[in-house]
Structure 1
Amino acid sequence: MTKEIIWIPNIELLATGDEDYHKEIFRDDLNKVKSQKKDLIKFEVFESYESFKIMDHFKNQVEDDRFRNSLHQALNKRKPFQNFNFLIF
Protein backbone atom coordinates (compact mmCIF):
# COMPACT_ATOMS: atom_id res chain seq x y z
CA MET A 1 0.00 0.00 0.00
CA THR A 2 1.55 3.30 -1.09
CA LYS A 3 -1.13 5.70 0.15
CA GLU A 4 -0.54 7.57 -3.07
CA ILE A 5 -3.15 9.96 -4.37
CA ILE A 6 -3.74 9.98 -8.10
CA TRP A 7 -5.68 13.03 -9.19
CA ILE A 8 -7.16 13.10 -12.67
CA PRO A 9 -9.45 16.07 -13.33
CA ASN A 10 -12.79 15.63 -14.99
CA ILE A 11 -12.39 16.52 -18.67
CA GLU A 12 -15.41 18.83 -18.52
CA LEU A 13 -13.51 20.95 -16.00
CA LEU A 14 -10.53 21.49 -18.26
CA ALA A 15 -10.30 24.72 -20.23
CA THR A 16 -9.24 23.01 -23.46
CA GLY A 17 -12.09 20.50 -23.58
CA ASP A 18 -9.80 18.38 -25.80
CA GLU A 19 -10.18 14.75 -24.74
CA ASP A 20 -7.06 13.58 -26.60
CA TYR A 21 -4.97 16.27 -24.94
CA HIS A 22 -6.41 15.27 -21.56
CA LYS A 23 -5.56 11.60 -22.14
CA GLU A 24 -2.01 12.48 -23.22
CA ILE A 25 -1.29 14.73 -20.25
CA PHE A 26 -2.59 12.16 -17.74
CA ARG A 27 -1.49 9.06 -19.66
CA ASP A 28 0.79 7.69 -16.92
CA ASP A 29 -1.83 8.17 -14.22
CA LEU A 30 -4.59 6.71 -16.41
CA ASN A 31 -2.41 3.64 -17.08
CA LYS A 32 -1.66 3.29 -13.39
CA VAL A 33 -5.36 3.42 -12.58
CA LYS A 34 -6.19 0.90 -15.27
CA SER A 35 -3.51 -1.57 -14.12
CA GLN A 36 -4.21 -1.22 -10.39
CA LYS A 37 -7.98 -0.68 -10.49
CA LYS A 38 -8.79 -3.40 -7.95
CA ASP A 39 -6.44 -1.84 -5.37
CA LEU A 40 -7.73 1.71 -5.64
CA ILE A 41 -10.48 3.71 -4.01
CA LYS A 42 -12.25 6.20 -6.25
CA PHE A 43 -13.55 9.47 -4.86
CA GLU A 44 -16.08 11.38 -6.88
CA VAL A 45 -16.08 15.15 -6.67
CA PHE A 46 -19.24 16.76 -5.36
CA GLU A 47 -21.09 19.24 -7.48
CA SER A 48 -20.96 22.70 -5.89
CA TYR A 49 -24.66 22.62 -4.99
CA GLU A 50 -24.08 19.30 -3.16
CA SER A 51 -21.18 20.77 -1.19
CA PHE A 52 -23.30 23.78 -0.32
CA LYS A 53 -26.09 21.52 0.98
CA ILE A 54 -23.58 19.69 3.19
CA MET A 55 -22.28 22.95 4.62
CA ASP A 56 -25.81 24.20 5.21
CA HIS A 57 -26.78 20.96 6.92
CA PHE A 58 -23.67 21.18 9.10
CA LYS A 59 -24.53 24.78 10.01
CA ASN A 60 -28.00 23.68 11.13
CA GLN A 61 -26.47 21.09 13.46
CA VAL A 62 -24.28 23.61 15.32
CA GLU A 63 -25.63 24.25 18.81
CA ASP A 64 -23.73 27.47 19.51
CA ASP A 65 -26.02 30.26 18.30
CA ARG A 66 -23.23 32.75 17.61
CA PHE A 67 -21.16 30.29 15.60
CA ARG A 68 -24.23 29.03 13.70
CA ASN A 69 -25.10 32.63 12.83
CA SER A 70 -21.52 33.24 11.64
CA LEU A 71 -21.73 30.17 9.41
CA HIS A 72 -25.10 31.32 8.10
CA GLN A 73 -23.67 34.73 7.22
CA ALA A 74 -20.63 33.13 5.57
CA LEU A 75 -22.87 30.99 3.35
CA ASN A 76 -24.91 33.99 2.27
CA LYS A 77 -22.00 36.22 1.29
CA ARG A 78 -19.97 36.25 -1.88
CA LYS A 79 -17.49 33.30 -1.96
CA PRO A 80 -19.43 31.13 0.51
CA PHE A 81 -17.01 28.17 0.31
CA GLN A 82 -14.01 30.31 1.16
CA ASN A 83 -15.84 32.09 3.98
CA PHE A 84 -17.17 28.84 5.45
CA ASN A 85 -13.77 27.14 5.34
CA PHE A 86 -12.14 30.13 7.01
CA LEU A 87 -14.53 29.80 9.95
CA ILE A 88 -14.19 26.02 10.22
CA PHE A 89 -10.44 25.76 9.91
Structure 2
Amino acid sequence: MSYIALCLAKLTNMTLNEEQIKEIAELLDSGMICFYHLPTGTIDSHPDPNDPYFDAEQWEDIIDRIENDWDNYERFEKMESYEGYKVIENFAYSLSDEYFRDKIFNAISRRKPFQNFKNLIDSSHYRQNWFDFKNKAYINFVKRQIQMKEK
Protein backbone atom coordinates (compact mmCIF):
# COMPACT_ATOMS: atom_id res chain seq x y z
CA MET A 1 0.00 0.00 0.00
CA SER A 2 1.38 3.43 -0.93
CA TYR A 3 2.09 6.03 1.72
CA ILE A 4 -0.76 8.25 0.49
CA ALA A 5 -3.22 5.34 0.49
CA LEU A 6 -2.08 4.38 3.99
CA CYS A 7 -2.62 7.96 5.22
CA LEU A 8 -6.07 8.13 3.64
CA ALA A 9 -7.06 4.76 5.11
CA LYS A 10 -5.78 5.90 8.48
CA LEU A 11 -7.80 9.12 8.42
CA THR A 12 -11.07 7.50 7.42
CA ASN A 13 -10.85 5.43 10.60
CA MET A 14 -10.72 8.48 12.85
CA THR A 15 -14.25 9.03 14.03
CA LEU A 16 -14.34 10.57 17.46
CA ASN A 17 -17.60 11.11 19.27
CA GLU A 18 -18.38 14.23 21.29
CA GLU A 19 -17.34 12.60 24.57
CA GLN A 20 -13.94 11.65 23.16
CA ILE A 21 -13.45 15.15 21.78
CA LYS A 22 -14.35 16.58 25.17
CA GLU A 23 -11.95 14.18 26.91
CA ILE A 24 -9.09 15.16 24.59
CA ALA A 25 -9.89 18.85 25.10
CA GLU A 26 -9.78 18.45 28.89
CA LEU A 27 -6.53 16.49 28.77
CA LEU A 28 -4.89 19.07 26.50
CA ASP A 29 -6.10 21.86 28.76
CA SER A 30 -4.46 20.14 31.71
CA GLY A 31 -1.12 20.06 29.86
CA MET A 32 -1.18 16.50 28.55
CA ILE A 33 -0.25 15.32 25.06
CA CYS A 34 -3.02 13.14 23.61
CA PHE A 35 -3.02 10.28 21.17
CA TYR A 36 -6.00 8.64 19.49
CA HIS A 37 -5.50 4.95 18.69
CA LEU A 38 -7.16 4.38 15.32
CA PRO A 39 -7.81 0.62 15.53
CA THR A 40 -9.41 0.69 18.97
CA GLY A 41 -10.71 4.25 19.26
CA THR A 42 -9.02 4.66 22.65
CA ILE A 43 -7.28 7.76 23.92
CA ASP A 44 -3.85 7.66 25.52
CA SER A 45 -2.09 10.63 27.05
CA HIS A 46 0.98 11.63 28.97
CA PRO A 47 2.59 14.86 30.15
CA ASP A 48 4.93 16.76 27.86
CA PRO A 49 8.39 15.15 28.13
CA ASN A 50 9.92 18.64 27.83
CA ASP A 51 8.25 19.69 31.08
CA PRO A 52 10.92 20.03 33.78
CA TYR A 53 8.74 18.06 36.22
CA PHE A 54 8.11 15.19 33.80
CA ASP A 55 8.75 11.80 35.41
CA ALA A 56 9.46 9.45 32.50
CA GLU A 57 9.40 6.33 34.66
CA GLN A 58 5.80 6.94 35.73
CA TRP A 59 4.64 7.16 32.09
CA GLU A 60 6.97 4.55 30.56
CA ASP A 61 4.25 1.98 29.74
CA ILE A 62 2.05 4.47 27.89
CA ILE A 63 4.96 6.04 26.02
CA ASP A 64 6.28 2.60 24.98
CA ARG A 65 2.80 1.52 23.83
CA ILE A 66 2.49 4.63 21.66
CA GLU A 67 6.03 4.44 20.27
CA ASN A 68 5.69 0.72 19.44
CA ASP A 69 2.48 1.34 17.47
CA TRP A 70 3.19 4.88 16.24
CA ASP A 71 1.60 4.43 12.79
CA ASN A 72 -1.77 3.68 14.38
CA TYR A 73 -1.91 6.82 16.51
CA GLU A 74 -2.95 10.38 15.75
CA ARG A 75 -1.38 12.99 18.01
CA PHE A 76 -3.32 15.97 19.35
CA GLU A 77 -1.36 19.07 20.28
CA LYS A 78 -2.08 21.51 23.09
CA MET A 79 -2.58 25.18 22.34
CA GLU A 80 0.46 27.32 21.81
CA SER A 81 0.81 30.29 24.17
CA TYR A 82 -0.38 32.76 21.55
CA GLU A 83 -3.51 30.64 21.00
CA GLY A 84 -4.25 30.55 24.72
CA TYR A 85 -3.73 34.31 24.87
CA LYS A 86 -6.23 34.72 22.01
CA VAL A 87 -8.81 32.66 23.95
CA ILE A 88 -8.41 35.05 26.89
CA GLU A 89 -8.85 38.04 24.57
CA ASN A 90 -11.96 36.48 23.01
CA PHE A 91 -13.37 35.83 26.47
CA ALA A 92 -12.81 39.47 27.42
CA TYR A 93 -14.53 40.64 24.22
CA SER A 94 -17.48 38.36 25.00
CA LEU A 95 -18.19 40.15 28.29
CA SER A 96 -20.78 42.91 28.46
CA ASP A 97 -19.16 44.23 31.66
CA GLU A 98 -16.83 46.86 30.19
CA TYR A 99 -15.14 47.55 33.52
CA PHE A 100 -14.10 43.91 34.01
CA ARG A 101 -13.17 43.59 30.32
CA ASP A 102 -10.79 46.54 30.76
CA LYS A 103 -9.34 44.91 33.89
CA ILE A 104 -8.63 41.76 31.86
CA PHE A 105 -6.91 43.68 29.07
CA ASN A 106 -4.88 45.59 31.63
CA ALA A 107 -3.85 42.35 33.35
CA ILE A 108 -2.81 40.57 30.16
CA SER A 109 -0.91 43.58 28.81
CA ARG A 110 1.63 43.37 31.63
CA ARG A 111 4.47 40.95 32.29
CA LYS A 112 3.23 37.39 33.07
CA PRO A 113 -0.18 37.80 31.38
CA PHE A 114 -1.43 34.28 32.12
CA GLN A 115 -0.63 34.51 35.82
CA ASN A 116 -2.20 37.97 36.01
CA PHE A 117 -5.33 36.74 34.27
CA LYS A 118 -5.58 33.69 36.54
CA ASN A 119 -5.27 35.86 39.66
CA LEU A 120 -7.94 38.22 38.35
CA ILE A 121 -10.42 35.59 37.16
CA ASP A 122 -10.07 33.35 40.22
CA SER A 123 -11.26 36.13 42.48
CA SER A 124 -14.14 37.23 40.25
CA HIS A 125 -17.72 36.14 39.77
CA TYR A 126 -16.79 35.41 36.12
CA ARG A 127 -14.71 32.38 37.09
CA GLN A 128 -17.23 29.75 35.95
CA ASN A 129 -17.98 31.74 32.80
CA TRP A 130 -14.26 31.58 32.01
CA PHE A 131 -14.08 27.82 32.53
CA ASP A 132 -17.11 27.29 30.30
CA PHE A 133 -15.70 29.59 27.62
CA LYS A 134 -12.25 27.97 27.72
CA ASN A 135 -13.78 24.48 27.58
CA LYS A 136 -15.71 25.38 24.41
CA ALA A 137 -12.58 26.93 22.92
CA TYR A 138 -10.59 23.74 23.56
CA ILE A 139 -13.34 21.56 22.09
CA ASN A 140 -13.31 23.71 18.95
CA PHE A 141 -9.51 23.54 18.93
CA VAL A 142 -9.65 19.72 18.93
CA LYS A 143 -12.31 19.72 16.21
CA ARG A 144 -10.08 21.94 14.04
CA GLN A 145 -7.21 19.48 14.50
CA ILE A 146 -9.48 16.65 13.40
CA GLN A 147 -10.53 18.63 10.31
CA MET A 148 -6.88 19.35 9.47
CA LYS A 149 -6.01 15.67 9.78
CA GLU A 150 -8.89 14.73 7.47
CA LYS A 151 -7.66 17.02 4.66
TM-score, normalised on structure 1? 0.61
The corresponding residue for 1:81 is: 114
State the identity %: 32
Where 1:46 maps in the other structure, the secondary structure is: coil
Gap runs ≥5 in structure 1 = 16-21, 35-41
Q: Is it true that 1:28 corresponds to 2:61 in the alignment?
A: yes
Q: Which residue of 2 aligns with 1:58?
A: 91
Measured in 2, the distance between the counterparts of 1:86 and 1:78 equals 13
TM-score, length of structure 2 as denominator length: 0.39
Partner of 1:7: 46
* Counterpart-to-counterpart distance in 1, 2:102 and 2:66: 43
How far did residue 81 of structure 1 move?
0.3
Instruction: Give 5+ residue unaligned stretches, structure 2.
Output: 1-22, 24-43, 68-74, 123-151
Report the CA distance between 1:8 and its aligned residue.
2.7
- TM superposition outliers: structure 1 runs of 4+ over 2 Å: 5-8, 31-34
Structure 1 counterpart of 2:80, one-letter code: E
Give the number of equivalent residue pairs: 76
For residue 46 of structure 1, the aligned residue among 59, 73, 79 is 79
Three-state SS of the structure 2 residue aligned to 1:7 is strand
Measured on the aligned residues, the alpha-carbon RMSD in Å equals: 3.3
Query: How far apart are the structure 1 equivalents of 2:118 and 2:47?
Result: 24
